[in-house]
Amino acid sequence: MRFSSEVVVTLRPSINDPQGLVVHDGLRQLGFTGVRSARVGKYIELEVEAADEASAQAVVTQMCEKLLRNPVIEDYRITVRPLGGAPSSGSPT
Amino acid sequence: MRFGIAVFPGTWSDRDCAHAVGLDGHQAVMLWHKDRELHGVDCVILPGGFSYGDYLRCGAVARFAPLMESVADFARRGGLVWGICNGFQILCEAHLLPGALLRNASLQFRCAPAWLRVDTTESPFTASCRVGDVLQIPVSHGEGRYVADQATLDQLEREERVLFRYTRPDGGPVGAASPNGSLRDIAGIVNHDGNVLGMMPHPERACEPLLGSADGMRLFRSVARSMEREGTAAGVG
């Protein structure tokens, strides 16, 4: 089965994020005075072939651990969903 | 002696490093990223540049190059490995050095003279310097802000593994003039065994008075002198 996976990589809370500070200041200058903080991260879209959703989740986790994030500075979140129509069981989409 | 100089796609300081090495009559051996052979070099330089486009994170892809397996093995056996700029980023990504290098606090690429205070000479990379010497060596990077957790920073200081710190030209604290906002003004560190150095500034670009400074040659000479003194004591080569 094919799955679509979204990986969001964020800087750890303890890491200073000058990009986020600039975004924060910019938003406030535009009048969004309610903005309390801004942090900038990375978004990665993957298409993954896997036997089922659990193994897709597992393999994307491995990708994050090995390459997609640097554990010294970053955290990550993963979402996985089936791609392309109904599963072979024929259940409606 | 023989300096190996790694060449990844996107490396840009390899020829400058070879030039600096050649000034003292040493041999430069270019090491292609797809090869595993180190050709018996005495010291491996990972030069500056944008290896593999620096996509995802600087050095994140280069660390998986076939050559890096040999370099990591060479380092584990005590061989001298010297990462400059992108090379420092690669060494951090490869976990051969602690910490990481992030976007400069200014968010700007900085290509400018910098001044480094030598904090320890108990290293093959600074053996020809004196503690407190201020070296003029330029920086040229967009992502050179050194970060690590407090415990790691304390350990680096306790074990005298911070070789260089950014300073003012007179050796005073760099303060807001830091080129990148590195924690504790760190410009260069070594690993626990002292044989792997990572530094953001470019000594190869300060190798002749014509370039504004020849201070970088003091590091190349330190390495050469240390190697001559110790031969291949570490049993690598």
Q: Is residue A63 part of a domain?
A: yes
CATH code, domain carrying A75: 3.30.1280.10
Q: Is residue A87 part of a domain?
A: no
Pairwise CB contact (< 8 Å): A70 & B181 = no
Q: Is residue A60 part of a domain?
A: yes
Q: Is residue A68 part of a domain?
A: yes
Of A16, A19, A70, the CB nearest to B57: A70
Per-residue confidence at B123, pLDDT binned at 50, 70, 90? very high
Q: Is residue A93 part of a domain?
A: no
Q: CB-based burial of residue A41 (10 Å sphere; 0-12 exposed, 13-18 middle, 19+ buried)?
A: middle
Q: Is residue A15 part of a domain?
A: yes
**How confident is the model at residue B52, as a pLDDT?**
95
Is residue A90 predicted with pLDDT exceeding 90?
no
Distance between start and end Cα atoms, chain A: 15
* Catalytic residue status for B204: yes
Q: pLDDT tens, A9-55?
A: 999 999 999 999 999 999 999 999 999 999 999 999 999 999 999 99
Buried b (16+ CB within 10 A) or exposed e, A54-93: eebbebbbebbeeebbbebbbebebebebeeeeeeeeeee
Q: pLDDT tens, B35-63?
A: 999 999 999 999 999 999 999 999 999 99
**How confident is the model at residue A92, as a pLDDT?**
42
Pairwise CB contact (< 8 Å): B103 & A73 = no
Enumerate domains of chain B plus CATH numbers: 2-230 (3.40.50.880)
* Catalytic residue status for B202: yes
Percent of chain B surpassing pLDDT 70:
97
Pairwise CB contact (< 8 Å): A18 & B181 = yes
Is residue B86 predicted with pLDDT exceeding 70?
yes
| Best A22, A68, A73, A76 residue to mutate vs chain B (most B CBs within 10 Å) | A73
Q: pLDDT tens, B153-167?
A: 999 999 999 999 999
Q: By residue range, what is the domain housing residue A74?
A: 2-82
Q: Is residue A91 part of a domain?
A: no
Cβ neighbours of residue A18 under 8 Å, at least 6 residues apart? B103, B104, B105, B106, B107, B181
Is residue B235 predicted with pLDDT exceeding 70?
no
CB-CB neighbors (< 8 A) of B93 in chain A: 70
Residue B136 has which token pair?
């003029």
Q: Is residue A8 part of a domain?
A: yes
* Catalytic residue status for B157: no
Of B56, B107, B147, the CB nearest to A15: B147
Tally the domains of chain A: 1
Pairwise CB contact (< 8 Å): B102 & A15 = yes
Q: What is the ipTM of this complex?
A: 0.85
